[in-house]
């Protein structure tokens, strides 16, 4: 594993934070435009905001030398594609009511993409006490997919 540049890690962190923030925004919109599911989408939005905060904390851990960026385990294109997918769904949701099945299908598509392609493979903790944080983040995202 080669040590990445600080700027590269900052850019990847910013993308991952953007991913979580986009999902939170999508779920907030779904709260308002998907009939009968407001509380469900609100809870997911709150959790996505928390994920963005975790990513912000992980960026700081990298700065402190407690994380490595595993640049061979991810594609920046995948992250950008996931953000783009969320933005497309946001723009559709802004147009008015969204059928519950459409919202659920779209959200599941994004959540499964996150589980398969993003943060669990991006960072490698260098301290054993950080491993549970990564396991919890993964479990939490998998739980999102299960609930959806």
29: pLDDT strictly greater than 90: yes
To the nearest 10 degrees (0 to 180), the angle between helices 76-93 and 6-33 is 20
Residue 42 banded pLDDT, cuts 50, 70, 90: very high
pLDDT digits (tens, 9 = 90+) for 44-97: 999 999 989 988 888 888 788 777 766 666 677 878 888 999 999 999 999 989
End-to-end CA distance of the chain: 36
Is residue 5's pLDDT more than 50?
Answer: no
Report whether pLDDT(33) > 50: yes
Question: Is pLDDT at 25 greater than 50 in this prediction?
Answer: yes
- Contact predicate 44/104, CB 8 Å: no
- pLDDT for 63 equals 81
**Long-range residue pairs from 116-121, CB within 8 A, at least 24 positions apart, any chain:** 117/74, 117/75, 117/78, 117/79, 117/82, 118/16, 118/19, 118/74, 118/78, 118/79, 118/82, 119/16, 119/55, 119/58, 121/70, 121/73, 121/74
Nearest-angstrom CA–CA distance, 52 and 23: 10
pLDDT tens digits, one per residue of 90-136: 999 999 899 999 999 999 988 887 655 555 666 665 556 666 766 77
């Amino acid at each position: 594993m080669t040590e990445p540049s600080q700027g590269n890690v900052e850019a990847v962190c910013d993308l991952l934070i953007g991913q979580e923030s986009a999902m939170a925004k999508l779920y907030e919109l779904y709260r308002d435009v998907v009939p009968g599911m407001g509380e469900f989408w609100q809870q997911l939005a709150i959790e996505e905001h928390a994920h963005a905060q975790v990513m912000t904390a992980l960026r700081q851990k990298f700065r402190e030398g407690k994380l490595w960026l595993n640049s061979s385990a991810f594609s920046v294109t995948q992250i950008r594609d996931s953000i783009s997918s969320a933005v497309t769904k946001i723009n559709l949701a802004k147009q008015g009511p969204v059928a519950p099945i459409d919202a659920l299908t779209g959200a599941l598509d994004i959540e499964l993409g996150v589980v398969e392609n993003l943060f669990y493979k991006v960072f490698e903790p260098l301290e054993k006490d950080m491993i549970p944080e990564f396991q919890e983040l993964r479990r939490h995202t998998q739980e999102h997919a299960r609930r959806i």
